Amino acid sequence: MRCIACDVELTDYEATRRFAGSQEFVDLCNRCAAVSLDDSDVVDRADLRTLADLEEMVYHEQDWELDIRTGTVDGDLSEV
């Protein structure tokens, strides 16, 4: 299965994530889900999370914080 937004292959954890209300599959990778979804909207299987899933989620959260605080598009890149 692949992410419907960026077309990367989903891990088992990503592929089993569902919307809380409708129980439909989310079909988004961790990066796309972090930008698009609120954690309370999703039901996941924590037992399927790997270290790679956790690292990717934390990395993207830190990157998102940089973007918000600096007001730039990429956070750590200077505007020209």
Q: 1-12 burial, b if ≥16 CB within 10 A, otherwise e?
A: eebeeeeeebbe
Report yes or no: 46 and 40 within 8 Å, Cβ to Cβ: no
| Per-residue pLDDT tens digits of the chain, which is 80 residues long | 899 999 999 999 899 999 988 999 999 988 888 777 777 788 888 888 888 877 776 655 555 454 555 555 555 555 54
pLDDT at 59: 55
